[in-house]
Chain A
Amino acid sequence: MSEFEYLRNVTIGQYIPTESTVHRLDPRTKLLAALFVALAATSTRSVLATLLLIGLLMGVTRLARIEVRYVLRGLLPAAPFVAALMLMQLLFQGRFSVCETVYWEWGFVRITPCLIELVVLGALRLVIFLFLVSLLTLTTTASHILHGIETLLAPLQRIGLPVHEFALTNIIALRFIPIIAEEMERIAKAQASRGGDFGGAPWWRPDRMARARLPLIVPLFVNTLRRAEEMVVAMEARCYLGRKGRTKFVDLHFTGLDWLVIGLSVLLWVVVWRTPWPTFT
């Protein structure tokens, strides 16, 4: 692989069309279900319940005819980040931890069994969130997700929030991501051909670090903003005059299965929330 292939990392969370039942669900259903699973995950402080939820997500992955291993491998790059968060929680949350046993105390750092349990819980909860995002993007095209969000948020339009504009903004963003990634690769190669590298500044000089990367960042922004100017003209030439008088082409349909899935995920939330799960501390 080449040092310039920036898009390579974007394979995580890509849509895999296995045409399973999960794929065929309405995007709104999947968004709502994800929301209720997230609510369920935050409604319990039990590590056991959280692990069960992860197990459930693995089950859904199988149902979507996607290898669980594939999803887990996609989460792997987040490991250092998760570790860093755990360390931060361990160092800076101890003082708020009310616990009879204290393993170790030094200054503001206080390690207690309760805290350790919460740190582990935090890490697992993050895994759930990342898992949900992967599962959603693996089984739903990005454009469907955006249409789902737009339709779900549509009621907010009535209270004056610019939901249509927000959705269109995100569609344009999605449209431009591959274009910009490609452009970035080309610019990086072109500057490298002129002997450029984008580092080399000492760590205590952020201004020089930033400056070393300007040959990449400035053209990226300038070219992209120029594209934006052209896009504005092209959209207006195609009669885009704002939301007024517009109709929508994409049509989303709920089926019985959709209602069932939404109902089940609400039920899951209530059950997880109401069950007195065992905790260690």
Chain B
Amino acid sequence: MAPLIRIESLHYTYQHEGGAVQALRGIDLTIEQGEYVVLLGHNGSGKSTLAKHLNALLLPTQGDVWINGWNTKERRHLREIRSTVGMVFQQPDNQIVATIVEEDVAFGPENLGLERQEIRRRVEWSLERVDMLPFRHRAPHLLSGGQKQRVCIAGVLAMQPSVLVLDEATAMLDPIGRQEVLEVARRLNREEGVTIIAVTHFMREAIEADRVLVLHDGKIALQGPPRTLFQQIDRLRALSLDVPHVSELAQALHRRFPAFPPDLLTPQEIAAAVIACCEERREESGERSARKDERGERNRTRDKFTLLTPHSSRPPLLALHHVAHYYMRGTPLEVKAIEDVNIEVHRGEIIGVIGHTGSGKSTAVQHFNGLLKAHEGEVWVLGQNLADPAVDLRAVRRAVGLVFQTPEAQLFEQYVGDDVAYGPRKQGLGPEEVRARVRRAMEAVGLPFEEFKDRITFSLSGGQMRRVAIAGVLALEPQVLVLDEPTAGLDPQARRQLMRHILDLHRQGVTLVIISHNMEELAEICDRIYVIADGRTVMAGTPAEVFSRAAELRAIGLDAPDMTQVAEALKAQGLLPADAVIYTLEQAEAAIAELLLAHGAALVEAPVGEQTR
């Protein structure tokens, strides 16, 4: 039987800004029914271009693509090909056609010309598969991102495809939404035998796969099962991908203790491996069981104790005290957005704000520059109470720069320089000063002034546009920069670059407030972290304090960093002291190495020469 998908020497070239771009340069690939394949690669590697060839949205410039034996170049099979290979894209909002969930799911079957009864059956079946049946009569704009994306998947499933292509379908979702979508994909693969092809730049999503393909420069640079592939850390880095901390930890431990398995993929696997190593020893002596119980006890008592914000004697630069805000206030549609948020920011700090989507964290930070007014509570900015009508809001907005989520969506000027200059010009500064500020702001985000000022804004790459937008805020020379999900949707390379520039700003004296879903990122850079849940500040403290309460974080829908999860599992077994502070790779490596050394029976430490391989 012919394979489900067969691709032979596929080349694809397109015209962009007057030049020819070779997006794909000779891809050969076969995918069988029931496989779970992950396509990794940074932006511009050609992974999405390849995905769009799978259902004839793009046709090869050279070479062939066969789906179920149909060549995609033959237009008469278009309907069959597209109903065989279903695609889900990045932005759920741009895929949902109808204004009622079930009518949207019916869109595909309607296009296939099915009978009304059959459409109804399929709509119900596919909504059921993605756990969205109770929402069938809802309007899509009232759903969360993860729910919307599941509706999109249902819309594709209703055509009963053999293959489901997820083209960066998780990139714009929060961790919960991402989990929801991956869970559905996994289930469809296992239970319904649907072939999954997931295009992503999140390495962690590749863990589920049977096979991982890494695209680079329009070619397949690496492929194999995740376990073997993830061991090639240096090679993956060279391809601008992020290696999960878990893989790095496993290999670091393997280098020191060759018996430690190098190919572990999840925090649970690491913890299990460490426990297994220690168990052997424990069985020999049995001495630790008593100690373990005692530790478990201590763990439990600690959970009851609540952390308080460490109050400094200095007055804070920014403060929200018991702030509440309601949307659509005074209408029948009034909803509570936040009800008791407390945040204090001191000069020179880096503050992290975490909370799942809808927790109110974005609403909270919009009080810092007076975009929103507190309905209850107080907002203090630079020693002024914003409730005071005498406060000059423009001055406040200049002092507290606010960078929104996907800020590139606010660019409007034709030339980069003019867009960055919008703020300073509105402020009424002279041309010399404007020029100087624009130069400083652009260079602070790594856009050389002379090279970029006359570039056309809308033809820059996504990462560059985001930096232009941030420069537009920096040109106001704020004392505090508030960033709402600054790296969301960027590929690892662009993300690292942007974070570097943001940290440089901090070194130059800018105080930072960062909202993020990326716990690893926050754990490494923040002085303090605030956790917002359901419109309230529920935790505050140093990363060590906050992440040591992993169970509570999970209860409000947040994940602790992977390293903390490993540590928590070990603490639960009494292998690590309950008060051990572990949230970075280095901390985890040191603690586990020490633990393994202490239990050294089964493990031999590698000679020093080999450690530094």
- A residues whose Cβ falls under 8 Å from a Cβ of B: 1-2, 4-5, 7-8, 11, 141-143, 168, 171-172, 174-175, 178-179, 182-183, 186-187, 189-197, 214-216, 218-219, 222-223, 227, 230-231, 233-241, 245-251
Contacts and interface: CB of A to CB of B under 8 A. Distances in A.
Contact of B476 (A2, A194, A247): A194
By Cβ-Cβ distance, the 5 closest A-B pairs, closest first, are A249-B106, A234-B95, A230-B94, A194-B423, A218-B412
Contact of B411 (A171, A219, A247): A219
Given A8-B328, A143-B103, A231-B97, 16 more contacts: A1-B328, A143-B100, A172-B97, A174-B99, A190-B402, A190-B409, A193-B369, A194-B397, A218-B412, A230-B91, A230-B95, A236-B57, A237-B87, A237-B89, A246-B111, A251-B116
Contact of A241 (B79, B119, B398): B79
B422 interface: yes
B93 to A, nearest CB: 5
B93 A227 contact: yes
A240 B94 CA distance: 15
B422 A249 contact: no
Interface stretch (B252-260, B329-337, B342-350, B573-581): B329-337
12 contacts: A141-B99, A175-B97, A195-B426, A219-B412, A230-B91, A234-B94, A239-B112, A240-B107, A241-B111, A249-B102, A249-B119, A250-B106
Contact of A195 (B112, B116, B397): B397
B372 interface: yes
Interface-central residue, A11, A223, A249, by most chain B CB under 10 Å: A249
B514 interface: no
Nearest to A219: B412
B489 interface: no
A223 to B, nearest CB: 5
A5 B114 CA distance: 43
Contacts of B401: 193
B427 A195 contact: yes
A235 B97 contact: yes
B197 interface: no
B473 A194 contact: yes
A227 B472 CA distance: 24
A194 B93 CA distance: 27
Interface string B10-49: 0000000000000000000000000000000000000000
Interface string B289-331: 0000000000000000000000000000000000000011111
Contacts of B545: none
Given A1-B330, A230-B89, A191 B410 contact: yes
B335 to A, nearest CB: 11
Interface residues of B, number: 75
Interface string B79-104: 10011001101110111111110110
Contacts of A8: 328, 331
Given A193-B369, A195-B423, A239 B79 contact: yes
A187 B410 contact: yes
Nearest to B90: A230
A237 B72 CA distance: 13
Nearest to A8: B328
B495 interface: no
B366 A195 contact: no
Given A192-B371, A241-B79, A251-B116, A183 B140 contact: no
B391 to A, nearest CB: 15
A194 B426 contact: yes
Interface string B398-409: 100110110101
B73 interface: no
Contact of A227 (B91, B371, B402): B91
B113 A5 contact: no
B157 to A, nearest CB: 11
Contacts of A216: 412
A191 B369 CA distance: 12
Contact of B83 (A142, A183, A235, A239): A239
A175 B139 CA distance: 9
A249 B109 contact: yes
A196 B426 contact: yes
B394 interface: yes
Contacts of A239: 79, 82-83, 108, 111-112, 159
B368 to A, nearest CB: 10
Interface-central residue, A7, A141, A171, A251, by most chain B CB under 10 Å: A171
Contacts of A246: 110-111, 113
A117 to B, nearest CB: 38
B155 interface: yes
Interface-central residue, B55, B89, B110, B397, by most chain A CB under 10 Å: B110
Contacts of A11: 328, 331-333
Contact of A238 (B113, B159, B369, B458): B159
B274 to A, nearest CB: 45
B420 to A, nearest CB: 10
Nearest to A182: B141
Nearest to B372: A2
Contacts of A197: 426
A230 B92 CA distance: 10
B123 interface: yes
Given A189-B371, A233-B89, A237-B82, A250 B427 contact: no
B373 A234 contact: no
B503 interface: no
B115 interface: yes
B603 interface: no
Contact of A248 (B116, B159, B405): B116
Contact of A240 (B91, B111, B394): B111
Contacts of B89: 230, 233-234, 237
A235 B330 CA distance: 40
B422 A186 contact: no
A182 B404 CA distance: 13
Contact of A5 (B106, B119, B328, B422): B328
B199 interface: no
A184 B397 CA distance: 19
Given A5-B328, A231-B97, A247-B119, A215 B422 contact: yes
B388 to A, nearest CB: 18
B277 interface: no
B325 to A, nearest CB: 9
A2 B373 CA distance: 7
Contacts of B407: 190
Nearest to A174: B99
B55 A237 contact: yes
Interface in B365-415: 366, 369, 371-373, 394, 397-398, 401-402, 404-405, 407, 409-412
